[in-house]
Structure 1
Amino acid sequence: MTDRAGTPATEADLVDLDALHEAYYSLKPDVSVPEQRVVFGTSGHRGSSLSTSFNEDHIAATTQAIVEYRASQGITGPLFIGADTHALSRPALTTALGVLVGNDVRVLTDQYDDFVPTPALSLAIITYNNAGHDDEADGIVVTPSHNPPADGGFKYNPPHGGPADSDATSWIANRANELIADGLSDVKLAEPSAVETYDFRKAYVDDLANIIDFDVIKEAGLHIGADPLGGASVHYWQAIADTYGLDLTVVNPEVDPTWRFMTLDWDGKIRMDPSSANAMASVLEHRSEYDILTGNDADADRHGIVTPDGGLMNPNHYLAVAIEYLYANRPGWKDDAAIGKTLVSSSMIDRVAESLGRRLWEVPVGFKWFVPGLVDGSVGFGGEESAGASFLRFDGTAWTTDKDGILLCLLASEITAKTGKTPSQLYTELTERFGSPAYERVDAAASKEQKTKLGKLDGDAITATELAGEPIIAKLSSAPGNGAAVGGLKVVTENAWFAARPSGTEDVYKIYAESFKGAEHLKQVQAEAKQIVDAAIA
């Protein structure tokens, strides 16, 4: 933690936009260098032009690979494409359009040349594919999400509308690297002029009436603040206010690809993370001015909820409140619609699910795991501890199959209007019923070899029988909900748990831990977790 965390950015913190754009076009990746290859993580390929990890060649090759992949899958419908407000998003969008047009793909961009949030693009795909066409649509989102201003990102969403699974992304990344190594000789390019347009904003905003109770929000007279944090939701929030007659203020409508108006995150970097109190410090200064105040990241797939009484809510806390509220106020959902959570989300959700008599569907990290359940209505809500979630429409059908930060922010207003209590107050009530958990994520050093071993670890290899004074009741290397490998380990006792996963970018592994027996017990859990994992990967 730097002592500058939460303080305003200075000129010295800002990225050089000219250098960023020049590097995008001039630097050419060498795919024999691991850091310069196309690599898809849980949210697409990310990198910076300055480090030769996100450049014109990467995007041209990745787009060509997506064209070839969709052809191999028989996907012949339109491809929706949108971009966020990062500086590298616009040149990457232009490159991608050139390749798509060069391959005769029917491509749809935003009607107003506006920024496109991830959930708006997911909704566009689902809407098209539910309309009875003879073909199927898919899409590309140009975004590195909440990453710093020097980064770019490129994400593929197949016809189900959510993040592509590892089979698709591995194929696309491998093919893209082949194309780069071969000098892009098989990449087809054309002037990106003949493209169709689509009104992402109107389609999204108008459809919100089928998933959020705006009447109850308006009748309650809530004064709402929404800060886009300089991201793609900026014009959506004003459209929502106008369409539904809400007392809603767009707190900061400024868009600046340097993000000079941000406060620094925990490590001194500019990062548009609405779940970080440091990144949200300037927003939090206004918390007493609104009944509900919210923030979104650059592509609006994450949410931050600020209440006048509780400040910025921990994402785990808000997920638990949202789940209890939704399953009591969505009678159109299936009676057996499960509650989806990631393996590293709070066990408060487990206790809420049990009290509701609902099945808990616990999956590995990554929103893609929720897609099948959201599509068929067997999962009513899917949420991640990193402030990403989505849920079903009033009638129990799919809304988005990618994370929707705008939706979860609006839900906070609906909850407050309907219950007369803020989500913070409702979470306090949950702790009075189920206990107050202490939760934290820490990092531990690990070599690349140790990280590889951890990623393939079998829970049965753990010999420990106790954790922080309690008997171990589960040692998981696959998720209980769908049996998929978790890429690490989760160990559970009656009142605590820890999960360990290797970092994809640093020589560390992440320890997520929680205890319902207080902060001191959590520290004991964390210490013993490190001992257990280190012994297993030694």
Structure 2
Amino acid sequence: MNDRAGTPATEADLIDVPSLIDAYYTLKPDVSIPEQRVVFGTSGHRGSSLNTAFNQDHIAATTQAIVEYRTSQGITGPLFIGSDTHALSGPAQTTALEVLVANGVRVLVDEFDDFVPTPALSHAILKYNAEGNGDQADGIVVTPSHNPPADGGFKYNPPHGGPADSDATSWIANRANELIAGGLHDVKMAEPSAVETYDFRGNYVDDLKHIINLDAIKQSGIRIGADPLGGASVHYWQAIADRYEIDLTVVNPHVDPAWAFMTLDWDGKIRMDPSSPSAMAALVARRDEFDLLTGNDADADRHGIVTPDAGLMNPNHYLAVAIDYLYANRPGWRDDAAVGKTLVSSSVVDRVAESLGRRLWEVPVGFKWFVPGLVDGSVGFGGEESAGASFLRFDGSVWTTDKDGILLCLLAAEILAVTGKTPSVLYRELTERFGDPVYERVDAAASKEQKARLGKLDGDAITATELAGDPIVAKLSHAPGNDAAIGGVKVVTEHAWFAARPSGTEDVYKIYAESFKGPEHLKLVQAEAKQIVDAALGA
């Protein structure tokens, strides 16, 4: 934890926006250098122009690759495109438009030249495809999500509206790197003209009445403070307040590509993470001014919930409350609609699902795994420990197939309006029924070779039989819900578990751990987890 974590940013912490944008256009990547290649992680290609990791050549090549990919898949409908408030997002969207228009793709941009949250773009794709237009739409979101101000990001969402799967992203990334290596000779670019528009905000906001009980929120009179954290949801929150006549104040309406108004995150960096107590410190300080406070990251696919009685809620705690509430208050959902969680989310979710008589659908990290279940209604709710989730409409049909931070913030208001209790009070009631777990993620050093071995490690390679004094009951290298490889291992006992996965960006592996026996037991779990994994890796 950096000594300045949670304190206001100073001039020395801010990026030089003109230099960042200049580097986007002037620095040319060399794809023989790994750090300068197009690489799609779980949420698209990300990097900084200053490091020659996110530059005009990257975006031109990636967009051309997307054009070729959608052609190979027979996708002939419109492509929706939107961007968040990062400084590199605007230039990257312009580059993408130049390529799309030159290739004859029908493109739809925001009608009001507004920022576009990730969930609004997913919503637009699904709405178009549900209307039976005879073709299929897809989309691009230009965002690095909650990453620091110097970063840019570029995501492709195919016709199912959610994050593209690894088959698609691998093909796109490989083709983009080929195009860059070839000097962009096969990339078509033209001045974007006569591009069509779409009212992302109006369509999204008007449709919220089909998934959130906004009448209950209005009638309760609860006072809500919404902080977009300088992100793409900034104008959506005021539109929601006006459209549904709820007592909602946008507590921070400012947009600044340097994010000078932020408090520093745990490592001393500016990062728009609504699940971080350090990044949310300014909002938490105002918790007594409202009945509920909410935060979103830059593309509004993550949520943060602040209550007067508890401050910022742990994302795992809120997911458990949301699940417990939704499955008791959505009679239109299928009786067999499962509870979706990633395998590094809290086991409280498991216990809540069991109490509801619902099947638990546990999948690897990455929201893409929830897409099929949300589309066909077989999964009512899909959530990640990193504060990303979405769920079904009142009638059990799909809402979005990407994470929706705006939706989860509004759900917190509905929960308070309907139950008269904050989500944090309801979580304490859950712990009285199911136990009070302690959860934490830590990092451990690992070489690139060790990370590669961990990503392919089989649970059978772990020889330990006990973890922190309890017998091991499961050693997983594939997710129980869909048998997909988890890219690491998860070890489970009756009272605790840990999961270890390699980092995609640093020479470390991540250890997620949870104990129902308290903080000291958790520390023991973490220490033994490192020993178990290191032994399996031959470290």
State TM-score, norm by structure 2: 1.00
- The residue correspondences of 1:255-270 to structure 2 (distance < 5 A) are 255-270=255-270
Partner of 1:386: 386
1:196-251 superposed Cα distances (whole Å, 9 cap, x missing partner):
00000000000000000001111110100000000000000000000000000000
Partner of 1:77: 77
- The residue correspondences of 1:77-476 to structure 2 (distance < 5 A) are 77-476=77-476
2:477 maps to a residue whose letter is: S
Structure 1: gaps spanning 5 or more residues = none
Inter-partner Cα distance in structure 2 for 1:439 and 1:277: 15
Indicate if the aligned counterparts of 1:294 and 1:306 stay in contact, CA closer than 8 A: yes
Q: CA shift at 1:320, angstroms?
A: 0.1
1:168 maps to a residue whose letter is: A
Inter-partner Cα distance in structure 1 for 2:471 and 2:133: 55
Inter-partner Cα distance in structure 2 for 1:123 and 1:2: 38
Indicate if the aligned counterparts of 1:101 and 1:194 stay in contact, CA closer than 8 A: no
Inter-partner Cα distance in structure 1 for 2:61 and 2:23: 17
Indicate if the aligned counterparts of 1:477 and 1:489 stay in contact, CA closer than 8 A: yes
Inter-partner Cα distance in structure 1 for 2:481 and 2:290: 39
Q: Find the residue that maps to 2:513 and give its secondary structure.
A: strand
1:506 and 2:495 aligned: no
Inter-partner Cα distance in structure 2 for 1:14 and 1:78: 38
Inter-partner Cα distance in structure 1 for 2:431 and 2:186: 59
Q: Find the residue that maps to 1:425 and give its secondary structure.
A: helix
2:290 maps to a residue whose letter is: Y
Stretches of 4+ aligned residues off by more than 2 angstroms: none
Partner of 2:11: 11
Partner of 1:520: 520
For the aligned residue pairs, the C-alpha RMSD in angstroms reads: 0.4
2:435 maps to a residue whose letter is: G
Inter-partner Cα distance in structure 1 for 2:91 and 2:201: 22
Inter-partner Cα distance in structure 2 for 1:221 and 1:389: 26
Inter-partner Cα distance in structure 1 for 2:472 and 2:416: 39
1:69-112 superposed Cα distances (whole Å, 9 cap, x missing partner):
00000000000000000000000000000000000000000000
Q: CA shift at 1:193, angstroms?
A: 1.4
Q: CA shift at 1:289, angstroms?
A: 0.6
Q: Find the residue that maps to 2:381 and give its secondary structure.
A: strand
Q: CA shift at 1:431, angstroms?
A: 0.5
1:121 maps to a residue whose letter is: L
Q: CA shift at 1:41, angstroms?
A: 0.1
Inter-partner Cα distance in structure 2 for 1:205 and 1:28: 40
Q: Find the residue that maps to 1:47 and give its secondary structure.
A: strand
Q: CA shift at 1:145, angstroms?
A: 0.1
Partner of 1:493: 493
Q: Find the residue that maps to 1:442 and give its secondary structure.
A: strand
Partner of 2:530: 530
Q: CA shift at 1:342, angstroms?
A: 0.1
Inter-partner Cα distance in structure 1 for 2:387 and 2:296: 10
Q: Find the residue that maps to 1:6 and give its secondary structure.
A: coil
Q: Find the residue that maps to 1:173 and give its secondary structure.
A: helix
Inter-partner Cα distance in structure 1 for 2:432 and 2:488: 33
Partner of 1:52: 52
Q: Find the residue that maps to 1:477 and give its secondary structure.
A: strand
1:181-206 superposed Cα distances (whole Å, 9 cap, x missing partner):
00000000111112000000000000
Inter-partner Cα distance in structure 1 for 2:305 and 2:212: 16
Indicate if the aligned counterparts of 1:467 and 1:525 stay in contact, CA closer than 8 A: yes
1:298 maps to a residue whose letter is: A
Q: Find the residue that maps to 1:4 and give its secondary structure.
A: coil
Q: CA shift at 1:133, angstroms?
A: 1.2
1:390 maps to a residue whose letter is: S
Q: CA shift at 1:280, angstroms?
A: 0.4
Structure 2: gaps spanning 5 or more residues = none
1:66 maps to a residue whose letter is: I
2:532 maps to a residue whose letter is: I
1:172 maps to a residue whose letter is: I
1:38 and 2:38 aligned: yes
Inter-partner Cα distance in structure 1 for 2:28 and 2:445: 32
1:44-73 superposed Cα distances (whole Å, 9 cap, x missing partner):
000000000000000000000000000000
Q: CA shift at 1:285, angstroms?
A: 1.1
2:60 maps to a residue whose letter is: A
Inter-partner Cα distance in structure 2 for 1:68 and 1:26: 26
Inter-partner Cα distance in structure 1 for 2:189 and 2:124: 26
